[in-house]
């Protein structure tokens, strides 16, 4: 980080704080980060206070310590979540705090953890932190996820622990330069224009055709397409993901039929799932396979009943700077923004008009999890279907609207 211009790093922090969570003066802020990110977190916290945060609390994580626990601790420890682990974030969020997750990647570090133990650990935490996740999914608090390099991540991407190169790519993908984040703001406006087209078209379904893919996704009657900027429950705008390339909505839970194949690896709980496909009938996964990480994929699909259904359909153009780099980043935040994707698991209730708290009534999926996987590529065509008529939305991965 020492060799990266300090101005760029400050601009990145400012984009996350001002645009990402739209931090208000006197507001509390909670940051989730790895111990490997401490240098940037220090700069970031300073910037947060300078922008008027009343209190900034950092929750540190260490994947190496987590690995030791997952490998060696007793089963009852793996599935135990202490009350204070839940009470702390809940107390911050219920007091109106914004939350930021600064994420890295640790490649295959958890690949030797038995999938059954990893699955039990994941499920236990998702059950315990269900209310916290609910606040995020309902936009009760403003939140943002953004990347920060660590050597293991750089090693996985470039075959060398070159965090300086990874910083350059992260800033490029986020559309941050020495002048600020105007390019990111213009991009968000373009996404808004496409979102408005899709909402006006109000398609009944979306049809996908591509390599080893033939899939139709029915949409709820009151579906809403979203992109880039969202509003919290008080109407304050924020940008949940930096970078962001998607226009997305929630599919009708029981209306997904056909087969879809992944176009990029999926990193799930520190494990790589690659070259996989899923077959759906009436919304549910009825068959699947993977060349790498099949048992992990099986654990994911079986996490709960809703994990075998789709909760998100997202459209991403291959002119994305992430796609242009031609690299796999082994981090869902980046790889999902390289290509059109779906998510197994929970839908965003904000993607349905007049949502009254009943997911089943709204026709959207409920689950403890929400995991994105990439399907888009330069050979994918996507159509909107309305009253049996089709409108081309994407040809060979490029927007046509």
Phi, psi of 302, deg, nearest 5: -95, 10
280 DSSP β-pair partners: 258, 285
Distances (CA, A) of 80 to 73, 109, 121, 125: 11, 22, 8, 8
Structural domains present in the chain: 6-173 (3.40.1830.10), 182-238+245-399 (no CATH)
3-state secondary structure of 393: strand
Query: 303: which DSSP letter?
Result: S
For the residues of 226-248, what is the DSSP string, one character each? Answer: EES-EE-TTS-EE-SEES---EE
What pairing do the DSSP bridges indicate for beta strands 341-345 and 284-292? unpaired
Q: What is the mean pLDDT of each run of 10 residues along the chain (401 residues)?
A: 77 97 98 96 97 97 95 96 95 96 89 89 92 89 97 94 95 96 95 96 97 97 93 95 96 98 88 94 98 95 95 95 91 90 95 93 94 94 97 96 92
Q: Could you tell me the end-to-end alpha-carbon distance of the chain, in angstroms, rounded to an integer?
A: 40
Helix (H) or strand (E) holding 362: helix 359-362
Between CA 217 and CA 250 the distance in angstroms is 10
28 DSSP β-pair partners: 55
Mark out the alpha helices in 100-250 (DSSP H runs). Answer: 115-128, 130-137, 151-158, 163-173, 182-201
Peptide bond into 270 cis (omega under 30): no
| pLDDT tens column, 127-143 | 999 999 889 888 999 99
Peptide bond into 390 cis (omega under 30): no
Token readout for 230 is 């969202």
Q: Vertex 32, ends 30 and 34: CA angle to 5°?
A: 145
What pLDDT does 189 receive? 94
Distances (CA, A) of 204 to 74, 120, 199, 252, 279: 50, 38, 11, 10, 21
């Amino acid at each position: 980080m020492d060799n990266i211009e300090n101005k760029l790093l400050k601009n990145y922090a400012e984009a996350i704080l001002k645009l990402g969570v739209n931090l208000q003066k006197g507001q509390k802020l909670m940051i989730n980060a790895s111990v490997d990110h401490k240098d940037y977190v220090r700069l970031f916290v300073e910037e947060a206070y300078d922008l008027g945060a009343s209190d900034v609390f950092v929750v540190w994580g260490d994947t190496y310590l987590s690995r030791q626990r997952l490998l060696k601790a007793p089963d009852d420890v793996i599935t135990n979540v202490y009350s204070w682990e839940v009470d702390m974030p809940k107390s911050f969020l219920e007091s109106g705090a914004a939350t930021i997750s600064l994420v890295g990647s640790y490649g295959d570090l958890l690949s030797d953890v038995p999938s059954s133990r990893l699955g039990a650990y994941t499920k236990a935490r998702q059950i315990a932190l269900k209310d916290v996740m609910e606040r995020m999914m309902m936009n009760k608090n403003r939140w943002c996820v953004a990347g920060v390099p660590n050597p293991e991540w750089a090693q996985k991407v470039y075959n060398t622990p070159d965090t300086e190169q990874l910083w350059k790519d992260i800033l490029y993908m986020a559309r941050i330069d020495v002048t600020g984040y105007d390019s990111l703001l213009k991009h968000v406006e373009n996404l808004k224009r496409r979102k408005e087209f899709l909402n006006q078209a109000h398609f009944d379904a979306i049809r996908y055709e591509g390599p080893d893919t033939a899939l139709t996704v029915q949409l709820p009657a009151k579906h809403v397409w979203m992109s880039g900027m969202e509003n919290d429950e008080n109407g304050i705008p924020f940008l949940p993901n930096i970078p962001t390339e998607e226009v997305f909505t929630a599919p009708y839970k029981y209306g997904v039929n056909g087969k879809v194949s992944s176009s990029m690896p999926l990193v799930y709980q520190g494990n790589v799932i690659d070259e996989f496909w899923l077959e759906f009938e009436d919304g549910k996964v009825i068959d699947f396979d993977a060349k790498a990480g099949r048992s992990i994929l099986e654990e994911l699909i079986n996490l709960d009943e809703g994990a075998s259904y789709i909760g998100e359909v997202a459209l991403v153009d291959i002119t994305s700077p992430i796609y242009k780099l031609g690299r796999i980043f082994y981090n869902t935040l980046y790889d999902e923004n390289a290509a059109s994707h779906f998510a197994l698991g929970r839908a965003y209730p904000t993607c349905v008009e007049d949502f009254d708290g009943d997911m089943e009534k709204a026709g959207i999926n409920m689950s403890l999890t929400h995991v994105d996987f990439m399907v888009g590529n330069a050979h994918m065509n996507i159509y909107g279907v309305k009253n049996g008529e089709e409108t081309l939305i994407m040809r060979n991965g490029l927007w046509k609207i």
